[in-house]
Amino acid sequence: MALVTSTEMFKKAYEGGYAIGAFNVNNMEIVQGITEAAKEVNAPLILQVSSGARKYANHTYLMKLVEAAIIETNLPICLHLDHGDTFELCKSCIDGGFTSVMIDGSHHSFQDNIELTRKVVDYAHERGVVVEGELGRLAGIEDAVNVSDADAAFTNPAEVEEFVTKTGVDSLAIAIGTSHGAYKFKPGTKPQLRFDVLEEVEKRLPNFPIVLHGASSVIPEFVEMINGNGGKMPDAIGIPEDMLRQAAKMAVCKINIDSDLRLAMTGSIRKYFNEHPDHFDPRQYLSPARTAIKGLVKNKLVNVLGCDGKA
Ligand code: G3H
Ligand code: 13P
Ligand code: ZN
């Protein structure tokens, strides 16, 4: 099995009323934890790399880790650039073997977003690579971009047909109230998503795969594991799992998860050191971290996304 694009995955997910998990990867233990979980439940996967991950771990190392995961699991895996912000970055990932890229032009004007996205689509499609575009702005932090709540904006459904037609994108990320990071809703408030916006987008773009960023649920167990072992995280509220289930049944075919992986990994490492303050072999504390990621991802694939058995 070689790396695949997300085309077939999205077609089946749309028809089947489930979503594909898109998990951010930064090192070997994260790749192993995610792919071992997917192997156990026979789920297709999107592994995504941000520009920060690429700077941290290096393109070739990440590429080879994902290739190793394919050899070990024999699963259909799509390797995707998360939040590409320039044509050059997307080109570099396409030339370097990724099968999917996101060009995030959501910080530009509508016309400039179309122009930049079209340029990436032309380059990608000629080489058999698929492209995710974005309309609307999520709050939160992604790499160098910090979007405040005030600057965040829901996707305007009236713009989606023009955007998709003029750019030729293969999938579209929209903003319906999710946000990046661990602090998605104010403590004491009730999480809410604009399912009416998603419905309207779905009506205007029949059979078209929609992407949900900022979809971590911020599992309390892991926040408690951090705070119970010397951490000091403020109250963190994520996207309730039943809302993700609802989105997956609708047009949402790709659900992005990163913060939950970070919390699981950090929680288990903090716990390990709290219990073994004299240990210093990285394999000892990275093993439970990898196991925590595996458990988290398995639960997402089976109980939230519904993509188990679909590989
Ligand atoms: O949306 C952003 C992802 O969580 C990636 O985060 O840019 O810090 O690697 P990063
Ligand atoms: P979270 O911060 O909610 O995990 O979102 C990740 C994401 O959208 C990556 O693109
Ligand atoms: Zn994102």
Q: pLDDT digits over 121-173, tens only?
A: 999 999 999 999 999 988 776 655 566 776 678 999 999 999 999 999 999 99
Q: Residue 120 Cα, ligand 1 centroid: separation in angstroms?
A: 21
Report d(CA 257, CA 22) in Å as an integer. 6
Give the residue, 247 or 236, on which the prediction is more confident: 247
Residue with tokens 């396409």: 94
User: Which of 12-26, 127-141, 247-261 has the lowest average pLDDT?
Assistant: 127-141
Report d(CA 247, CA 163) in Å as an integer. 22
pLDDT value at residue 152: 74
Atom of ligand 1 nearest to the CA of 143: 7
CB atoms within 10 A of CB 38: 27
Label residue 60 by pLDDT band (50, 70, 90). very high
Task: Take atom 5 of ligand 2 and give the residue whose Cα is closest.
Answer: 214
Q: Residue 279 Cα, ligand 1 centroid: separation in angstroms?
A: 30
Q: Residue 277 Cα, ligand 2 centroid: separation in angstroms?
A: 32
The ligand minimizing its distance to the Cα of 22 is: 2
Note whether 3 and 78 are within 8 A (CB): yes
Q: Work out whether strand 140-142 and strand 145-147 pair parallel, antiparallel, or are unpaired.
A: antiparallel
Q: Residue 259 Cα, ligand 1 centroid: separation in angstroms?
A: 8
- pLDDT of residue 186 exceeding 80, the answer is yes
For a ligand 1 pocket test, name from 50, 106, 179, 184 the mutation site with the most ligand atoms within 8 angstroms of its C-beta: 50
Catalytic residue from among 82, 170, 258, 308: 82
Contacts (Cβ under 8 Å, ≥6 apart) of 88: none
Give the residue, 262 or 187, on which the prediction is more confident: 262
**Residue 213 assigned to a binding site:** yes
pLDDT value at residue 1: 86
Report d(CA 101, CA 20) in Å as an integer. 16
Note whether 49 and 24 are within 8 A (CB): yes
Percentage of the chain exceeding pLDDT 70: 96
Q: If you average pLDDT over every residue of the chain, what do you get?
A: 96
- Residue 155, CB-side half-sphere exposure with 13 Å CA sphere: 32
**Annotated catalytic residue 82:** yes
Mark residue 127 as left, alpha or beta (left: phi above 0; alpha: psi -120 to 50; beta: remaining). Answer: alpha
pLDDT value at residue 293: 98
Count the residues in the chain: 311
**Residue 180 assigned to a binding site:** yes
Q: What are phi and psi of 203, to 5 degrees?
A: -65, -40
Nearest to 219 by CA among 173, 253, 161, 267: 267
Per residue in 107-118, pLDDT (tens digit) is 999 999 999 999
Task: Take atom 3 of ligand 2 and give the residue whose Cα is closest.
Answer: 214
Contacts (Cβ under 8 Å, ≥6 apart) of 283: none
Atom of ligand 1 nearest to the CA of 258: 4
Label residue 100 by pLDDT band (50, 70, 90). very high
Average pLDDT, integer, range 227-255: 97
Report d(CA 208, CA 164) in Å as an integer. 10
User: Which of 86-90, 152-156, 167-171, 178-182 has the lowest average pLDDT?
Assistant: 152-156
- pLDDT of residue 89 exceeding 60, the answer is yes
Three-state SS at 54? helix
pLDDT value at residue 144: 52
- Look up residue 302 and give its two tokens: 């089976």
Q: What are phi and psi of 267, to 5 degrees?
A: -60, -45
**Residue 279 assigned to a binding site:** no
Three-state SS at 170? coil
Beta bridge partners of 84: 103
Average pLDDT, integer, range 207-217: 98
- Could you tell me the fold of the domain covering 7-305? TIM Barrel (3.20.20)
